Structure 1
C-alpha cells in the first residue's frame, strides 16, 4: 500500500507520518510539506504540480492546513479550500483510491440544543461567525462531491481540538485566550485530543480501508470547573454577561490579544463529540482530555496573575468594549449589582 500524507512536517503530521512509517502494511510512505525534512518531499500545495507525487490507487491523507491567522476574517480558510480543490483535481487525474480528510468537530456548530455528546448522524451546521468552522464544513462537502463523482473511498475525521506534546496550535491558543473571559450565561464542556491518538486513528482507517465519517475524540470531556483548574483560573472568577462577551473579545483582539468574537458560541454552547463509531472499529484513545491539554499547552502570562487582577482586567475590557459599542456601561454595572 502506498500512502501520501500532506502536512507531514507539522506538529500533528509528524505523529501521523511516524505511525504509518512503522506499519508493515504500508510499503511506501510519501510525506509532503513546504519545508524539506527526513522523508518529506518539499512541495507547495498552492502552486506546485501535485501529480508528480501521486499514483493510481494511492491513499492520500490530507492534513495540511494554513496557520490560523484571523487578521482577515473573510479569508479564514480560503487558502485551505483552494489547496483542497487542487488536491482533489490531482487525485482525480492520478486515480487515487482513498482520501482521508482531516476535519474538525467544530463543523457541528455550538448550539444550545446540541446533545452531549454529538454523534456523526447530527447535522453539519457550523456557527457562521467563525469562518474556520465554515471552511471545514465546505471542505467536507467538496470532498463528498469528489467521492461521488470518482467512486473513490472517502473518510472524514472530525477531530476534537488536537494537541501535540510541547507544541501549541493556533486553534487551541485561540480557544484558550478567548476563554479568559468567562461567560455568565453558560460555558461549554471542552475536549482535547492528543496528536498520538489522532495518529493511531489515521493508521486504523488507512490500514483497515475504512471509509465514512468518524469523530475522533478522547473519552468524555472536561467540565468548565475542571478546565478552569487546569488553566489555573479560579472557578469563582467573575463572569461577564453573555451580551457583552463578543464585544469584550473584539476589544481585546484590537489590542493584540489572540481572541476571536466568533468563538463566543463555541465557548458557551456544547459541541463535544462521541467516539463510539471509531471505537467500534477497534480504536481506543490512550490519553485523557487532561493529559492532552497539559501536553500541548505552555503556561500563559495570565498564570502568574492573581484572581483579583484577572477580574479587574476582564471587567475593564468589558467596560471599554461596551462603551465603545454603545451598549452602555451602566447596563453591565446594574447586572453585576443584581448578581446573587
Structure 2
C-alpha cells in the first residue's frame, strides 16, 4: 500500500485563504486496477483560479490544480513506468489516475496527458509556460486580440504567469507593449528582462495620464487579468475597433464573495467609450480551446523559449507542506512569473 497526502479545503474562503481553511489528510491508496497508473508529483501548480473558482465548489473538497508527475506503477501500456505526465490531480503527492476515464470537473480540462517534449527545458514548464498558463496566454491573446505588427498592446497583471507571456508574445508579433504591475521591482524587470517597451506601477501612477504619455493615439489590444477601476481606465483609451481579452479579475480577489454581484467592487462605467469606438470585448478561459489545438501553443512556446525570444520566469517554493504559503504569496502578488511548488 502507498501512503499519500493531499490538501483538503474544509472551510469556504472568507477573503484571503487562512491556513486552517485547509487540512492535510494522509490516506492509503488501493491497488491499481487495469488501465490505471500511479503517479508521484514532482511539480505542483499554484494558480489564481484555485481562489477564484472556490465559491463554485462545495466544501470539503480536494484542492484542485495541475501537477507534473512521474508514473511509478502502471497497469496501462500507454503509460509505462517512468513516463512524465501532466494531470489535474491537484495538491497531492501520489495519485491513482485512469487516463481513459471521463472528465470529473466541469470547469477545467482534467484529463491526463504526457508531458510535452520540452527539448531539455525545465519540466516545471509543464504547469507553466508550456502548460495551462501558456495555452491561456497564447490562444487568449492571439485568437481574440489578433494583433498586427505596429499595434499597441496593454497587459495588466503583466508580471504574472499569463501576463508575462502575453507581453512577450506581443513583442514577437511586432507590437508595442505596455505593462502594469504592482511593484517598482516588477516594473523594472518587465522592461529590462522581458522586453516590455514601458511598464508602470498601477499603485503609484495616474493610469490615464501615463497611457496618454506613451500611447497618445490609443490602444489597439488589451489583455485584462485584473478588472476593476484599472481596467476601466485602460479601456477608456481604446482605439476604434480595439480588442479586449478578459482573462481574470484579480482586483476582486479580496472580496468575501467573488461571484456575489452586490459585494463586488465598483468601477467607472465604460458605455460612453465602447460603442463610440466599436470595441470588442470577449471573456476567455483556456477550456474554450479544444485540447487537439494545445500542441500548437506547446510547439510555438517551446520554440520561442529555446531560441531566447521568450523567457518563462518562475517563482519556486520548495516543499509539499508549503503549498498554502505559495498560494497566499501568489494572491498577494509576491511572485514574479509562474508560481510553482517543487515537491
- Taking structure 1 as the reference length, what is the TM-score of the superposition? 0.31
Which has more strand, going by share of residues?
2
Q: Normalized per residue, which structure has more helix?
A: 1
TM-score when normalising by structure 2? 0.31
